[in-house]
Chains A and B, each alone.
Chain A
Amino acid sequence: MSTVTSPARPAGTAAQAPASVTMVAALNQALADALAADDRVVVFGEDLGTLGGVFRVTDGLAARFGDQRVFDTPLAEAGIVGTAIGMAMNGLVPVIEMQFDAFAYPAFEQVTSHLAKLRNRTRGKLALPVVIRVPFGGGIGGVEHHSDSSEAYYTHTPGLRVVAPGTPTDAYRLLRQAITCPDPVIFFEPKRRYWSKETAVLRPEGPPIDRAVVRRPGRDVTLIAYGGMVATALEAAEAGVDEGWDVEVIDLRSLSPVDDQTLTDSVRRTGRAVVVHEAAGFAGYGAEIAARLTEQCFFHLEAPVLRVTGLDIPYPPPHLEHYHLPHADRILDTIARLSWE
Chain B
Amino acid sequence: MTTVAHPGETAASPGLLPSQTPLQLIDQDGQPGRNPRGLSLPEPGVLQELHRRMVLGRQVDIQATALTKQGRLAVYPSSRGQDACQVGAVLALRDQDWLFPTYRDTVAILTRGVPAEQALTLLRGDWHCGYDPYEYRVAPQCTPLATNTLHAVGLAHAARLKGQDQAALALLGDGATSEGDTHEALNFAAVWKAPVVFLVQNNGYAISVPLAKQTAAPTLAAKGIGYGIPSLLIDGNDAAAVYAAVKAGIQRAAAGGGPTLIEALTYRIEAHTNADDATRYRTTEEVRGWLERDPIARLETYLRARSLLDDAAAGQIAAEAERLAAEVRDQMNREVSVDPAELFEHVYARPTAALERQRAALLAELESEESQEAAR
Contact = CB atoms under 8 A, between A and B. Distances in A.
Interface of A: 42, 68, 73-74, 76, 78-79, 81-92, 106, 109-110, 113-114, 118-127, 158-159, 161, 181-183, 210, 257-258, 260-261
Contact of A257 (B157, B158, B353): B353
B133 A110 contact: no
B185 interface: yes
B365 to A, nearest CB: 18
30 contacts: A74-B188, A78-B184, A79-B181, A82-B150, A82-B153, A83-B153, A86-B150, A86-B154, A87-B154, A87-B157, A87-B161, A88-B154, A89-B133, A89-B151, A90-B155, A90-B159, A92-B161, A92-B162, A110-B150, A118-B140, A121-B127, A123-B128, A123-B342, A124-B345, A126-B140, A127-B349, A158-B347, A210-B352, A257-B353, A260-B354
B348 A183 contact: yes
Nearest to A120: B346
B156 interface: yes
B158 A86 contact: yes
- Report the 9 A-B pairs with minimum CB-CB distance, sorted nearest first: A86-B154, A82-B150, A83-B154, A79-B184, A90-B158, A86-B155, A182-B349, A257-B352, A86-B151
Interface of B: 127-129, 132-134, 139-140, 144, 147, 149-159, 161-162, 164, 166, 168, 180-181, 184-185, 187-188, 191, 342, 345-349, 352-354
Contacts of B158: 86-87, 89-92
A118 B168 CA distance: 18
Contacts of A82: 147, 149-151, 153-154, 181, 184-185
A125 B144 CA distance: 20
Contacts of A161: 348
B155 to A, nearest CB: 4
A185 to B, nearest CB: 11
Contacts of B129: 121-123
A78 B181 CA distance: 7
Contact of A124 (B157, B180, B346): B346
Contacts of A119: 346-349
Chain B CB within 10 A, most for which of A86, A158, A210, A261: A86
B184 A90 contact: no
A304 B345 CA distance: 35
Contacts of B354: 257-258, 260
The DSSP consensus for interface residues of chain B is helix
B162 A91 contact: yes
Contacts of B161: 42, 68, 87, 92
A84 B192 CA distance: 13
B150 A123 contact: no
A81 B147 CA distance: 10
A109 B159 CA distance: 24
Contact of B156 (A68, A73, A86, A158): A86
B151 A114 contact: yes
A163 to B, nearest CB: 14
B180 A89 contact: no
A83 B150 contact: yes
B240 to A, nearest CB: 30
B347 A120 contact: yes
A122 B133 contact: yes
Contacts of B349: 119, 127, 181-183
A166 to B, nearest CB: 22
A118 B129 CA distance: 10
A212 B159 CA distance: 38
A110 to B, nearest CB: 6
A74 B189 CA distance: 10
A87 to B, nearest CB: 4
Nearest to B121: A123
Contacts of B150: 78-79, 81-83, 85-86, 110
Contacts of B166: 90
Nearest to B145: A109
